[in-house]
């Protein structure tokens, strides 16, 4: 593990931010898509002899992704498996879950986050909590809204109560309800 650990430390020093280059028209927001997340880390990983792999495991209700780093020495490091349920049991639902899982598994494994385009977010004590809540739930709630208003309500009720949940609903309820079919 010595070789890959040394290489990952060196690579992490060169990671860039995951740039928010994609737009979500339903929420009138920008986000870092999978390509932006890969772009933020791949050159630094490769320059330090590390190959990035994201393995998928069969799952009946969604997707399971495991981000794995393989060093040229043969050493390997796994981030662990991340399960993301598919909001719809169709190719679009599974594709959305796969992209979401790959993006968040990669960001967690590399210790990166999307660029902060709200300079005040870092100064608010609730900013990090709100961002974490949104990262964990926004895509699934959006997908539920696309299914129906009832599906959105059920998905939102299934999330444990918290101050971040309340702030999220205040911020996004109009756009989520507007996206509901």
Condensed to tens digits (0 to 9), the pLDDT of residues 70-81 reads 999 999 999 999
Question: Are the CB atoms for 133 and 169 separated by under 8 Å?
Answer: no
Question: Are the CB atoms for 137 and 168 separated by under 8 Å?
Answer: yes
Residue 46, φ and ψ in degrees, nearest 5: -60, -40
Q: Judging by DSSP bridges, how do beta strands 62-71 and 76-85 pair with one another? A: antiparallel
* Nearest CA-CA partner of 159 in 140, 174, 176: 140
pLDDT band at 125 (very low <50, low <70, confident <90, very high): very low
Q: What is the pLDDT of residues 5-32, one digit of tens each?
A: 999 999 999 998 887 877 777 777 787 8
pLDDT band at 117 (very low <50, low <70, confident <90, very high): very low
Q: What is the pLDDT of residues 138-173, one digit of tens each?
A: 888 888 888 888 888 888 888 887 777 777 777 777
User: How many other CB atoms sit within 10 Å of the CB of residue 28?
Assistant: 8
Please list the alpha-helical segments (H only) found in 15-126: 34-47, 91-110
Q: Judging by DSSP bridges, how do beta strands 22-24 and 29-31 pair with one another? A: antiparallel
For residue 128, is pLDDT > 80? no
* pLDDT on residue 119: 39
The β-bridge partners of 30 are 23
Q: With 0-12 CB in 10 A as exposed, 13-18 as middle and 19+ as buried, what is 125?
A: exposed
* Nearest CA-CA partner of 95 in 139, 51, 29, 130: 139
* pLDDT on residue 9: 95
| Upper half-sphere CA count for residue 135 (Cβ side, 13 Å) | 18
pLDDT band at 181 (very low <50, low <70, confident <90, very high): low
Residue 3, φ and ψ in degrees, nearest 5: -65, -45
Predicted TM-score of the model (pTM): 0.61
Q: What is the pLDDT of residues 40-78, one digit of tens each?
A: 999 999 999 999 999 999 898 999 999 999 999 999 999
CA distance 76 to 85: 27
């Amino acid at each position: 593990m010595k070789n890959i650990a040394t290489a990952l430390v060196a690579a992490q020093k060169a990671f860039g931010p995951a740039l928010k280059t994609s737009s979500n028209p339903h929420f009138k927001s920008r986000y870092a898509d999978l390509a932006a997340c890969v772009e933020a880390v791949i050159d630094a990983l490769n320059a330090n002899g590390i190959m990035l792999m994201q393995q998928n495991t069969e799952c009946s209700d969604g997707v399971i992704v495991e981000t794995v780093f393989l060093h040229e020495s043969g050493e390997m490091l796994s981030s662990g498996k991340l399960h993301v349920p598919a909001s719809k049991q169709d190719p679009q639902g599974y594709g959305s879950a796969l992209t979401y899982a790959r993006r968040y598994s990669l960001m967690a494994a590399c210790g990166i986050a999307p660029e902060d385009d709200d300079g005040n977010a870092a100064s608010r004590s609730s900013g990090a909590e709100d961002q974490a809540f949104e990262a964990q739930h926004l895509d699934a709630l959006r997908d539920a809204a696309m299914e129906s208003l009832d599906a959105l309500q059920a998905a939102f009720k299934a999330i444990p109560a918290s101050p971040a949940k309340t702030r999220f609903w205040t911020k996004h309820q109009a756009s989520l309800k507007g996206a509901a079919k």
